[in-house]
Amino acid sequence: MTHNKKIKLDEVDFKLIQEYTEDSRQSLRKMAKKIGVAVTTVQEHTRKLERLGIINGYSAIIDYEKLGYGLTSISEVSVSKGKVVEVEEAMAKIPETVAVYDVSGSTDIISIARFRTKEELNKHIKKVLALPFVEKTNTHLVLATVKERNIF
């Protein structure tokens, strides 16, 4: 029998999460100064957040438009015969796919993908529609990104 332990985080943990979200490359010394604690405190709390799986890695925030990926789509996908997991797994393997969400509501899956051209977007939609058990898709083209960031 497994017990779900509630993770207890304090104010320092949340401040560190905020700092890592804003700039994970800043030095521990700089973070310590900004949040008003010792460097060793930052080290200890960082190790704790990593051990608990709250921090799972460190990555860069990429400007996809500058790389030529100026088109972003959000697709609603309806699946038949209860094969949602199989379709989600297949969609996750498509390189242009950025995110796949299992959702409630009138559709089963929401996915986000990025493209350089309309032709790539067109091929992607057809690829998704050709997956077994996909009944239909409703794809939206993002016209402008108003906010896209982590909550911290």
Q: Which CATH number fits domain 11-51: 1.10.3470, 1.10.3210, 1.10.10, 1.20.120?
A: 1.10.10
pLDDT tens digits, 6-43: 788 999 999 999 999 989 999 999 999 999 999 999 99
Taking alpha carbons only, the member of 86, 71, 80 closest to residue 124 is 71
Q: Which CATH number fits domain 65-141: 3.30.460.10, 3.30.70.920, 3.40.50.1240, 3.40.50.12780?
A: 3.30.70.920
Specify the domain boundaries for CATH 3.30.70.920 within the chain: 65-141
Provide φ and ψ at 19, rounded to 5°: -65, -45
| Predicted confidence (pLDDT) per residue in 104-136, tens digit | 999 999 999 999 999 999 999 999 999 999 999
> What end-to-end distance do the CA atoms of the chain give, in Å?
34
Q: Which residues in the chain are classed under CATH 1.10.10?
A: 11-51
CB atoms within 10 A of CB 118: 10
Q: Residues 76-96: pLDDT tens digits?
A: 999 999 999 999 999 999 999
Confidence band for 1, pLDDT divided at 50, 70 and 90: very low
pTM to 2 decimal places = 0.80
